[in-house]
Amino acid sequence: MIRAADNQALSVLLPDSEAALRILGTAAAYGTDRPFCRFWTDENGGALMIAEGVATLHAPSCADEWLTFLTMSPEVHTVRTDAKTARELAVLWGAKAECGEVMRAGDVSVCGAATVTPPAPLYPLIASVFGEAVPPFDGWYADVHHRLRRGRFHARAMREGGEVRSCAMTVAECDAAALLGAVATTPAARGRGLASACVTALTHDCRQNGQEVYISPKNAAAAALYACLGFTVCGEWGKVQRREE
């Protein structure tokens, strides 16, 4: 049975999938009592978070009940979950599933001199690389600044001439694990190892905090880079967008 979850209910959830880590990261940063974000669990170890129309679903066993729940939640327009569940939901919704690998850091050596950086200077680069996938600055900064104050945000950057040329940041953190993302490099600076420096330095930071480190490459080229740095595939992520009627 699906039921509303509080911090205690989520305390038994392990960050053993990308979705679970995203759920735990949000709960760690904001708690479970904020009106803009709601949480649910079931008796089979599943968990769901819905925030601003985006659902994040961890469904380690049969997902049928969760998929029905999401289908009956009209405010949900996008679901982030594992690849298998995403493909099942895509069939149900008559949509297309976007899927990719989840990788875990193994023996990663720091390469380059990426520096610890505050979030604000990263935004122009991230927005230029990822476009509409990045929220407007005010909303983006409010989130990362809140996570920074709670100790749930870390970032590294490479600068040249005072300008950020490459960066990486944590997009979700709980006590046990961190998910890296927003890995971006200006076009003119690519191919010089700047992103590798940011990712490896940030991985070291998280390891120093006792966290396992994960990353979800957007494409095969990114996955190949992370594999060279010492990351290995440990799962798959999936994403589905509800078709407009």
Sequential DSSP letters for 44-57? TS-EEEEETTEEEE
**Mean of all residue pLDDT scores within the chain:** 96
Would you state the structure tokens that stand for residue 105, as one six-digit string? 């850091």
CA–CA distance, 37 with 117 (Å, rounded to integer): 28
* pLDDT at residue 245, as a whole number: 57
Question: Quick check: helix, strand or coil at residue 69?
Answer: helix
Q: Which residue has the tokens 């999938």?
A: 17
- Band (pLDDT 50/70/90 cuts) for residue 137 is very high
For a pLDDT cut of 70, what percent of the chain falls above it? 100
CA–CA distance, 179 with 169 (Å, rounded to integer): 9
Vertex 133 angle, CA 68 and 129, to 5°: 150
For a pLDDT cut of 90, what percent of the chain falls above it? 95
What is each CA distance from 3 to 47, 59, 66, 89, in whole angstroms?
A: 10, 14, 11, 21
194 in Cβ contact with 166 (< 8 Å): yes
Question: Quick check: helix, strand or coil at residue 102?
Answer: strand
Partners of 56 in beta bridges: 49, 80
Among 6, 9, 29, 8, which Cα is nearest to 173's?
29
Residue 186 has pLDDT above 90, yes or no: yes
CA–CA distance, 139 with 225 (Å, rounded to integer): 30
- Band (pLDDT 50/70/90 cuts) for residue 218 is confident
Instruction: Give burial (CB, 10 Å; 0-12/13-18/19+) of 216.
Output: buried
* 25 Cα distance to chain centroid: 9
Helix axes 123-130, 137-149, angle to 10 degrees: 130
